[in-house]
Structures are given as C-alpha cells and as structure tokens.
Amino acid sequence: MGNMDLIPEDYRQDMGLRRMVRNFIVACLVVVCGIGLAKAAFTYLIWRENAHVVRLEQQEQVSQQNKSKTEEYRQQKQVTEQQLAALTELHGNDRVTLFLHAIDNAYTEGVWFDSLRFMRRSSTGTLDNVPGAANAGIIVAPDNAETPQSLEVNHGAEIIGHAINHSVLAEFMRKLGTETSVADLRLIDTGTRSYTTMQVVDFKLGLQMNEQLNAQNGENAQVAP
C-alpha cells in the first residue's frame, strides 16, 4: 500500500516561503553586522592614523625647536670664540699692559682722566681682567662696529681728561710721547672751562701703539728658556 501525502500543497508553499524569509532576514543581519564591524575597523584605523600624524607633528615641532636651539647655541659659540680670541690676542701680546704702563710712567700731577679707550680695528670688549679697569672707564673698542675678521691689526688708544693748565698737559704729552710703546701721539682736541674756583684744560689725545715693539717682545718671549 503506497504512502499518502496528507500535507496540503498550500501549507507546504507557505512553510517554504517562511523559510526563505527567515533565511533572508538572517542574511541581512549578517550583512549589517559585517558592515558594522567594517565601519568600526575603519574608524579604529582612521583614529590610529590620526594619532600617528599627531605624534609625527609633535616630533617635527620638537625637531624644529631643537634645530633652533642648536642654531642659537652655534651662534653663541661663535660669539664666545670671537671674544675668547680677542682676549687671547690682548693677553698674548700684552698691548693693554704696555699701554697702561706707558700711562703710569708718563703720569704728571695735575692731570686726571675721564676715560681711556683702547681701540683695535675689530673685536670689542671691556678689560675686566685689568685691575681697576671697570671703575676707570677703560674700554676696548673697535674703530668700526663690524664683526671681527682678523686680529692682526694696528692698535691705538684714545685718552679724554683734564689738566690744570697747558704746561702740565704739554709735560704729560712729552713724557707719554717718549714711551717706547707709543709710536704716534696726537692732540685731537683741547679747550678750557671753569671748574669750581679755577679754569681747567679739557683735552682729547689719540695714540698708536708701537707694533714693532710688540712683535719684538713676542719673539723674545718665544726664544726665552
């Protein structure tokens, strides 16, 4: 006896349709979840790349700051080296010492100074290592304000001061002019003015140092035991 199919055809079609709808919904859910996961993954990747870009920008800023500091340190180093070279030149050739000795030997009572300026063609600095220089207004100054290019240059000085009369000034100039370290002495300016109960002579002198004497002293120092 054969098997009989008692399930109605309409019911069978309805069940198949439901199954298809259920499978479609499951498939849609899987697609939606996949899209959500992909979006989350892209969001994470974008955040990570943005964070990496921020780190790179910070590193670039730090690098630029380091470059700026390096350049600043390099410039400070150059200035320090130039100042050191100037001080070494002054110390090595004893020009300032010779100048001060000449002033001391030629000093005449009745003469006093406002300022002494030791001048070179380049390199500017204050003679802090000379005793009393800071209080005496002694300055090492270039003849121009350019950056020092060479230390092998002529040296000179400018003296501004007062004397009680022209005779005293002339005697001081005579003594100073006879100093072996002084090659040329010139009276740049002079004048009289009242000072308390008497008149004084204002003067301004210019002189050149004897570079040949400095060279001879340097040679003697080299050959000395």
Give dist(CA 11, CA 14) in Å, integer.
Answer: 5
> How high is the pLDDT of residue 225?
44
- CB-CB contact of 183 with 132 (8 Å): no
> How high is the pLDDT of residue 90?
58
Token pair, residue 122, equals 């380049």
Token pair, residue 62, equals 């730090």
Nearest Cα residue to 135 out of 143, 124, 126, 144: 126
Token pair, residue 209, equals 């140092």
pLDDT tens sequence for the chain (225 residues): 456 656 667 777 777 888 888 888 988 998 889 898 888 888 888 998 888 888 888 888 888 888 888 888 888 888 888 877 766 665 545 777 888 889 999 998 899 999 888 777 554 444 444 444 444 444 555 544 444 444 455 788 899 999 999 999 999 999 999 999 898 899 999 998 887 788 899 999 999 988 776 555 545 544 444
CB-count burial class (<10 Å; 0-12, 13-18, 19+) for 127: buried
> How high is the pLDDT of residue 203?
95
Q: What is the DSSP letter of 2?
A: -
- CB-CB contact of 128 with 87 (8 Å): no
Second-level CATH architecture of 94-223: 2-Layer Sandwich (3.30)
| 2: CB partners within 8 A, 6+ apart | none
Nearest Cα residue to 201 out of 209, 210, 211, 192: 192
| 170: CB partners within 8 A, 6+ apart | none
pTM for this predicted structure: 0.46
Q: Indicate the SS3 state at residue 147.
A: coil
Q: Indicate the SS3 state at residue 175.
A: helix
